[in-house]
Amino acid sequence: MQATAESEVIKLQEELKAEPLTPGQLIWLRFLRHKMAVFGVVMLFLLLLYSVGGAFVFTEAEANFTNTSIRLNPPSAEHPFGTDTVGRDILARTIYGGQISLLIGLFAVVVEVIVGVLIGALAGYYGGWIDSLLMRFTEAMFNIPQLFLLLVMAKFFGGKIPTLTVFGRSFSGSVIVIIMIIGLTSWMYLARIVRANFLSLKEREFVLAAHTTGTSHSAIIFQHILPNSIAPIIVSGTLSVANAIIAEAYISFLGLGVQPPTATWGNMLEGAYNYIETAPWLWIFPGSLIVLTVLSINFVGDGLRDALDPHAIVEVR
């Protein structure tokens, strides 16, 4: 009896002697416990492999090559996903469309995070009239449903940006327009979170300490307070990638998005509903890829939310 108790004590001592886990390791362990999030990461990796690796199999010229003699062909050995209304290969287009859709998702969130964090941080940190002004503006933007705002802005900026060439590939100016407008219509929620965080953090002692040592305002905002509110920004940013991909699909579906011949998963679906009966392969493949991507990102976001929550209980085995 006593021997077992003693061995328990020794075990406990050994455990205490072991290096404590760093916060990063704890987050990683919690994330791994979230099975769906791990599935999401694996899926996202495969989707990335599909749309980036596929570029080595097909060239972009092939994806945009029209051949009206084979229009609306069903899936076959030569064209595994079939061909579209002007005879382009849908498999190749989903590969290149995936690149653009994922690109739009990521960069729209970069715009969103920059705007949202700046506005939220300034409003929360300075307070007073800056806060009221910025928050009234945020509220005004919040009150217009996002899809309506997106459509109006897509119309506003449409065709005003020329085609750009990056790394030997030309991007239709509409890609940049879509990235900007999605970013500029989705930052409001993030700005509110950041503001709330700043409001509570700026009263803390470490900020007071930074003030007394004469740290500049910008250093306090970006080096002292912002790193402490990074967790909600990461979670909200991750989920925003999913929303941005869906938003792109919606405006492209309505014909105001990225202009052909540049393919995106969204604009491949434009007009597909005219072919529900005759050519279901037109919308099944790009549509499923959108669902799969958005689902995986949502899983990852959910996993990150649990993993980054400092109140979550950690059981490490």
Smallest Cα–Cα separation from 211: which of 197, 225, 200? 225
Smallest Cα–Cα separation from 24: which of 315, 291, 310, 273? 310
- Closer to another protein by Cβ: residue 173 or 287: 287
End-to-end CA distance of the chain: 25
Cα angle: 169, vertex 175, 180; to 5 degrees? 135
Residue 253: CB minimum distance to another protein, A: 5
- Closer to another protein by Cβ: residue 104 or 210: 104
- Closer to another protein by Cβ: residue 93 or 305: 305
Residue 155: CB minimum distance to another protein, A: 4
Residue 199: CB minimum distance to another protein, A: 19
Residue 269: CB minimum distance to another protein, A: 7
Helical pair 230-253 and 188-201, crossing angle rounded to 10 deg: 170
Residue 259: CB minimum distance to another protein, A: 14
Q: Kindly list the residues in this chain that would bind another protein in the complex (CB under 8 A).
A: 36, 136-137, 139-141, 143-145, 147-148, 151-153, 155-156, 242, 246, 249-250, 253-254, 256, 269, 272-273, 276-277, 280, 283, 287-288, 290-291, 294-295, 297-299
- Closer to another protein by Cβ: residue 103 or 141: 141
Query: CA distances (Å), 294 to each of 84, 131, 207, 246, 285, in order?
Result: 24, 34, 38, 8, 14
Tokens of residue 5, six digits: 């108790």
Sign of CA dihedral 66, 68, 71, 75: negative
Residue 267: CB minimum distance to another protein, A: 12
- Closer to another protein by Cβ: residue 176 or 290: 290
Query: DSSP state, 229?
Result: G
- Closer to another protein by Cβ: residue 53 or 255: 255
Report the alpha-carbon distance of residue 310 to residue 27 in Å, rounded. Answer: 9
